[in-house]
Amino acid sequence: MIEAVGAIGFAHPWLLAALALLPVLIWLLRVTPPAPRLLAFPAVRLLLELQRREESSARTPWWLLALRLLAAALVILGLARPVLNAGHGPGGTGPLLLVMDDGWASGPDWPARLAAAEEALAEADRAGREVRLLATAPSPRGEAPRLSPPMPAAEMRERIAALSPLPWPPDRAAAAAALEAMPPGAGVLWIADGIAHGPDAEAFARRLAALGPLTIAAPPAGAQRHVLLAPRSEPARIVARIAATPVAADTTVAVLARTADGRTLARSEATIPAGAAEVEAAIALPPELRNRLAALAIENANSAAAVALLDERWRRRPVGLMAGAAETADQPLLGPLYYLDRALAPFTELRRGSVRELLAREIAVIVLADVDTLTPAETVDLERWVEEGGVLVRFAGPRLAARPDRLLPVRLRGGDRQLGGALSWQQPARLAPFPDESPFAGLAVPADVRITRQVLAEPSLDLARRTWARLADGTPLVTGETRGRGAIVLFHVTANTEWSTLPLSGLFVQMLQRLVQLSAGVATAAGDAVLAPFETLDGFGRLSAPSAFATGIAAAAIEATVPSPRHPPGFYGPDAARRALNLGAAIGRPVPLVVPEGTVLRPLGEQAASRDLRPWLLGAALLLLTLDLVLALWLRGLIRPLPAARAAALLAALALLPAPARAQVEPMQAALETRLAFVVTGQPQIDAVSRAGLVGLTDFVNRRTAAQLAEPMGVTPGVDDLSFFPLLYWPVTAEQAALDQAGTDAINAFMAAGGIVLFDTRDAGSGQGMNAGAEAALRRVTRGLSIPPLVPVPADHVLTRAFYLLTDFPGRWIGGQVWVQRDQDRANDSVSPVIIGGHDWAAAWAIDAAGRNPYAAVPGGARQRLLAYRFGVNLVMYALTGNYKGDQVHVPIILERLGQ
């Protein structure tokens, strides 16, 4: 056992009794031989100075005696092995029982758990106690928790080092059963994960307390455990549901949307109120990006429960088409399925057939265009399918107007309403803005869409709630009703241009995309088909190859399967039928662990690490003994004082010399090396992407061209000198304020002197060109700048051939225009001082510390990223060399004149 005195404990306290012998050392160390005297040899003088009295030995100086006593005391204290911050480990007279939770909740603070285990092993080693280990989660082989045999602490370190968090919950009942053969009297340290994991936690704690004094090392009160529950699909967005252990203060959590290769497509933050246990975070993505999603993950959570894998059901949404007039359904420009086919084909899998044929296979959406021939059996089958998550979209027409059925969201009036024409007093109607609660909310309404005919809904109390789109006069155009997990939607116009011009507009495509996203996706494997494990999550939430002990799951049973060693969370099945087994959907909300009364609770990671003072004390004693030797030689005259003093002074002077200051990169040093720069926005995430992007571009330019660029820098217009940089990258954000007068003057001077500013609104991925928010932000930050008239980059512009031959300029996104100066300015060598685009070039160029590209290039992947780098090279060459490529058109004339 370690006896403690305050914060210092002694492994061998009996050695402190030797301090009582220090007075004896005073008597032993008193005598010092007198130093010899140096005299000139003349014999007479030597005889004259001889002393006749007897001399006794000189006494040791008091300061040298104190030095020797201090050295002896340090040796005694060092041999007693003092330990600073010696923990008061578990009591008991038997071995130390070390219980470690190694389930999914232990991943976020696993290093702190290992440190707590190492502290316990160090104390057991100093006390000479054996250690027994119990890990509470089932092993990857599927074996129940087992108690290890007693062994020395040094051997137990190897077992602790081999542990790692596992992607399933602990089995507290099996762990308690493993302790049946453990005799009482042990000291128990339970390194808990802070989660109850079911009703067996209290009984397990009582069983541990019955073995001996119980100490629990658990996460501190402010630490949270997060679980991603099953996400929810909504039109144009995915809603991540985050469950957390309640804490006393508001906390912020971020959810990342990732592709299969681990790249981040989007990030969304949510605030968990104090005391709350669940919050939602919405992630809005265009359909082409949403189909690339493979997982949602809580940022920096490092846990299998903080990852929600998204399988084919989130991407594969087959759509079935059926028309009432099958013989003319696909007639060009006139058929009811002609426009539906062209609107849905780019982003869905289309199928044709009868209702029975469509329902024979799994399908997400069924579109019925003016169908009035449904049999009672087909109606029942469609109702059951909608209840299970399907979306039924219906378009009106003469047939449905004459014979409506019950598969409609609202009751219809007989006949139809005609707007415009010889027999109507009314003009064709326009669309009104979409209601906020509509799935179409946020879509822009084109001014050229006209409705000339429609079916009318019977007035009812809930008609307004079921109206998703209406005309300018308030009559419903699209109505919808949720039934079970699915929905029924009715367009009160035809699917062709007979009743409206809606199918001719881009709004028609966007509305159909929103409706398809309402549905639950499908997977092809079903029934008793066994899905083999493809990739599984480890305890830190990372996908890897499955272990040899993982087995397949029947497709029909995967929804009810709880992750375990036999079925770890991950992806199961082949590419076309891959299914995800998620831990969060199975375990639900985490419940905090209740610590039993009478238990010593230590916050994990907050206790100061113990430190063995023996090496320091013995080292200090050695230094003092060395100094004693030097002083003894000096007193005996064996060391000349003057050379020794000079040597000591020289060593002291060398030690006190200041170390050379480390050179820092200052803005003025940019004049000595060519480097790129970015405008600091004040938003850490945006600025980090800008820096990483220019670092990646600089590396690419240095490897592919003769240019040698130094590390890029961040600058603030009006504060930093911009004259040293050829190119500024400026990410435009909605939160940026307008420049002050000093910043405006600095940018104008920079452009007038030949510098180029690349404004990046980063919104090309929206698929709608520059959106209103990006345009407003760009206008705000450029107010007061001398921006010349701009045009889209011409096909023969120098940017298309400054180094590589390019036809477009992709970044992380594609699409959208890139704008340059319209008129040539010979005063500036016809170089455009401003380039504006929205392709998020910095994210495409960015590299992390490992040299990887952390952000996905959509939709072209590696090829698109290479083109983005090539555009960056062209941009750098354009900034460094100006319009020299444009002057090459004069080369033939110059050569002809030289020939003459």
Within this chain, do residues 346 and 439 fall inside the same structural domain, yes or no?
yes
Cα separation, 75 vs 69, in Å, equals: 10
Whether residues 425 and 482 fall in one domain:
yes
Residue 900: inside a domain: no
509 and 540 share one domain: no
Cis peptide before 859 (omega within 30 of 0): yes
* 214 and 122 housed in the same domain: yes
Distances (CA, A) of 843 to 264, 528, 731, 836: 10, 44, 11, 16
Specify the pLDDT at position 425.
40
Residue 709 covered by a domain: yes
Q: Are residues 789 and 832 in the same domain?
A: yes
517-560 pLDDT, tens per residue?
A: 888 776 655 556 889 999 999 999 988 889 889 999 988 788 88
Q: What is the CATH number of the domain that holds 510?
A: 3.40.50.880
Instruction: Give the residue from 82, 166, 156 showing the smallest Cα distance to 118.
Output: 156
Residue 577 domain-assigned? yes
- Residue 738 backbone phi and psi in degrees, to 5: -65, 155
**What's the pLDDT at 517?**
80
Q: Is 119 exposed, middle or buried (0-12, 13-18, 19+ CB in 10 A)?
A: buried
Domain stops at, among 589, 623, 641: 589
475 found inside a domain: yes
Do 178 and 271 have their domain in common? Answer: no
pLDDT at 228: 95
Taking the C-alpha atoms of residue 554 and residue 543, their distance in angstroms, rounded to an integer, is 21
Tokens matching residue 213: 């004094």
Q: Which residues contact 607 (CB under 8 A, 6 or more apart)?
A: 85, 87, 116, 119
Q: Would you say residue 894 lies in a domain?
A: no
Name the amino acid, one letter, at 67: L
The DSSP code for 65 is: H
Q: Which of the residues in the chain have pLDDT under 70?
A: 1-16, 18-60, 80-81, 83-93, 235-236, 287-288, 316, 415-426, 522-528, 576, 605-613, 635-671, 765-773, 825-829, 884-900
Question: Residues 175, 123: one domain?
Answer: yes
DSSP label of 661: P
The answer to whether position 797 is within a domain reads yes
174: helix, strand or coil: helix
Quote the DSSP letter at residue 278.
E
Q: What is the pLDDT of residue 759?
A: 94
Alpha carbon distances (Å) from 438 to 409, 434, 517, 518: 14, 7, 14, 12
Greatest Cα pair distance, the chain, in angstroms, is 155
Residues 601, 577 within the same domain:
no
H or E element at residue 706: none
- Which ranges of 490-591 does DSSP label H, i.e. alpha helix? 506-517, 583-587
- Please tell me the total count of domains within the chain: 5
579 in Cβ contact with 558 (< 8 Å)? yes
Q: How far is CA 443 from CA 235, 431, 434, 507, 771, in A?
A: 12, 12, 7, 8, 12
Distance CA 491, CA 370 (A): 10
Please indicate, yes or no, if residue 271 is contained in any of the structural domains.
yes
The answer on 623 and 741 residing in a single domain is no
Burial class of residue 91 (count of CB atoms within 10 Å of its CB; 0-12, 13-18, 19+):
middle
Domain that holds residue 559: 226-316+525-589
Looking at residue 424, its pLDDT comes to: 42
**In 560-626, beta strands by DSSP E:** 570-572, 579-581, 600-603, 611-612
In a domain, 662, yes or no: no
474: left (phi over 0), alpha (psi -120 to 50) or beta: left
User: Does residue 311 sit in the same domain as residue 338?
Assistant: no
User: Tokens standing for 515?
Assistant: 């409706």
* Cβ-proximal residues to 861 (8 Å cutoff; 6+ apart), any chain: none
Listing from the earlier edge strand, what are the strands of the sheet with 790-792?
710-715, 675-679, 727-731, 756-760, 834-837, 819-821, 790-792
Question: The CATH number of the domain where 771 resides is what?
Answer: 3.40.50.12140
Two structure tokens written together for 777: 């932000």
Together in a domain, 603 and 631: no
Question: Quick one: pLDDT at residue 895?
Answer: 64
Domain of residue 203, CATH code:
3.40.50.410
Which residue intervals of 684-809 are DSSP H helices? 684-704, 741-752, 772-781
Q: Identify which of 237, 230, 242, 292 has the alpha carbon closest to the alpha carbon of residue 262.
A: 292
pLDDT of residue 260: 82
Total count of residues recorded for the chain: 900
Do residues 450 and 470 touch, judged by C-beta distance below 8 A? no
> Domain check: are 864 and 735 in the same one?
yes
| Residue range 834-884, pLDDT digits in tens | 999 989 999 999 998 878 888 878 777 788 899 999 999 999 999 998 876
